[in-house]
Chain A
Amino acid sequence: MECNRPRFALSPSTRRIILRAIAFAIAASFICGAAAQQGAVFGSGSLVVGMTSPAILPDRLGADASGPDGSSSAVVAQTVQELLPDYLRRTLERGLDRQVVVTGSYNSEQFTSTDGRPLGAIIESTIANDGVRGIRVTTKISARVGTSTVEGSEVLLLSPRTDYGQLDEKMTDLGMRTARRLAQMSSNDAQAVTKLPRGVVRFYCVRPTDTGDRNLAMLARRLTIELPAALTEASNKQGLDMVVRGLEIREVITLCDPSMTLQGAGDMTQGRIESFSWDGTVSSQRPSGSQLSVRISDPNLPGGNYRRITQILIKDTASPAMSEIAEKIVAEFIKQYQKTTLASDVKSHIDWSIRDSTNQNKLDCPEKYTEVPQCVFQGGRACYSREAIVRAKKGDCAGAMRLMLVTQCHNPTAQQSIKAAGEPTVCDYLKSK
Chain B
Amino acid sequence: MLISALVWFLFCAASELANADSRLAIFVIEPILLEAVEPPSNEQSRIAQEALESLAIELQRLTLEGHELLIGSQPDAALDATQFGQADVVIQILPKVGNRGLIVESTLYDKASNSWAPLSRRIFALNEEAKLKDALRDAILPPIMIRVAELAVPVGRTVLFADCLFPITEPGSDSDLQHELRLVAGLFSEEYGTELYNSAGLEKQFSIARLVPTKDQKYFSWWCVNLEQPHLRWLQKNSITLFGYVYRSPGSGRTPELSLVIGRRDRQMPVDTVVINPGNRKPIVDHMIETIEGKLNGM
A residues with a Cβ closer than 8 A to B are 1-9, 16, 20, 23, 26-28, 30-33, 36, 44-46, 71-72, 75-76, 79, 83, 86, 93-94, 97-99, 162-168, 212, 214, 217-218, 221-222, 225-226, 229, 232, 246, 248-250, 253-254, 257-258
5 contacts between A and B (CB under 8 A): A3-B283, A5-B275, A94-B233, A168-B125, A253-B245
- Which residues of B are found within 8 Å of A3, using beta-carbon distances? 276-277, 280, 282-284
Inter-chain contact A218/B274, CB cutoff 8 Å: no
Digit string of B94-136 for contact with A (CB within 8 Å is 1, else 0)? 0000001111000000000000001011111111000000000
Inter-chain contact B269/A229, CB cutoff 8 Å: yes
Inter-chain contact A164/B123, CB cutoff 8 Å: yes
- For residue B99, which residue of chain A has the nearest CB? A163
- Which residues of A are found within 8 Å of B252, using beta-carbon distances? 214
CB within 8 Å for A229 and B250 given contacts A71-B37, A168-B124: no
Interface-lining segment among B60-68, B69-77, B214-222, B260-268: B260-268
B227 at the interface (CB under 8 A from A): no
Inter-chain contact A30/B264, CB cutoff 8 Å: yes
- Which residues of A are found within 8 Å of B118, using beta-carbon distances? 86
Inter-chain contact A6/B259, CB cutoff 8 Å: no
CB within 8 Å for A6 and B101 given contacts A222-B273, A229-B267, A257-B170: no
Inter-chain contact B266/A27, CB cutoff 8 Å: no
Closest 9 CB pairs of A and B: A165-B125, A164-B101, A6-B274, A31-B299, A217-B250, A98-B266, A164-B123, A3-B283, A214-B251
Question: CA–CA, A218 to B250, complex, Å?
Answer: 7
Question: CA–CA, A93 to B266, complex, Å?
Answer: 9
Inter-chain contact B283/A164, CB cutoff 8 Å: no
CB within 8 Å for A32 and B264 given contacts A214-B252, A254-B171: no
Partner of B262, one of A30, A72, A166, A253: A30
B195 at the interface (CB under 8 A from A): no
Question: CA–CA, A4 to B170, complex, Å?
Answer: 22
Inter-chain contact B299/A28, CB cutoff 8 Å: yes
Inter-chain contact B124/A164, CB cutoff 8 Å: yes
The prevalent SS among residues of A at the interface is helix
Question: CA–CA, A346 to B230, complex, Å?
Answer: 45
Inter-chain contact B121/A83, CB cutoff 8 Å: yes
CB within 8 Å for A218 and B249 given contacts A6-B273, A7-B274: yes
Instruction: Work out how many contacts link A and B, with CB atoms closer than 8 A.
Output: 157
Inter-chain contact A249/B277, CB cutoff 8 Å: no
- For residue A251, which residue of chain B has the nearest CB? B168
Given contacts A249-B245, A253-B247, 19 further A-B contacts (CB under 8 A): A5-B275, A6-B287, A7-B257, A9-B287, A23-B295, A31-B296, A31-B299, A33-B237, A36-B237, A46-B237, A72-B38, A75-B37, A99-B265, A166-B125, A168-B122, A168-B123, A214-B249, A214-B251, A222-B273
B286 to chain A minimum Cβ distance, whole angstroms, is 9
Question: CA–CA, A194 to B295, complex, Å?
Answer: 38
Question: CA–CA, A336 to B247, complex, Å?
Answer: 37
B33 at the interface (CB under 8 A from A): no
B254 to chain A minimum Cβ distance, whole angstroms, is 13
Inter-chain contact B277/A7, CB cutoff 8 Å: no
Question: CA–CA, A23 to B296, complex, Å?
Answer: 11
Inter-chain contact A253/B170, CB cutoff 8 Å: yes
- For residue B252, which residue of chain A has the nearest CB? A214
- For residue A169, which residue of chain B has the nearest CB? B125
- For residue B295, which residue of chain A has the nearest CB? A27
Question: CA–CA, A9 to B276, complex, Å?
Answer: 13
- Which residues of A are found within 8 Å of B123, using beta-carbon distances? 79, 83, 164-165, 167-168
B209 to chain A minimum Cβ distance, whole angstroms, is 17
Question: CA–CA, A16 to B287, complex, Å?
Answer: 11
Question: CA–CA, A79 to B101, complex, Å?
Answer: 11
- Which residues of B are found within 8 Å of A6, using beta-carbon distances? 272-275, 287
Partner of A249, one of B169, B259, B287: B259
B270 at the interface (CB under 8 A from A): yes
**Which residue, B121, B257, B267, has most C-beta atoms of chain A within 10 A?**
B267
Inter-chain contact B168/A164, CB cutoff 8 Å: no
- Which residues of A are found within 8 Å of B55, using beta-carbon distances? none
Question: CA–CA, A248 to B232, complex, Å?
Answer: 12
A25 to chain B minimum Cβ distance, whole angstroms, is 11
Partner of B269, one of A8, A30, A36, A222: A30
Q: Which of B275-299 contact A (CB under 8 A)?
A: 275-277, 280, 282-284, 287, 294-296, 299
- Which residues of A are found within 8 Å of B251, using beta-carbon distances? 212, 214, 217
Question: CA–CA, A225 to B244, complex, Å?
Answer: 12
Question: CA–CA, A286 to B136, complex, Å?
Answer: 55
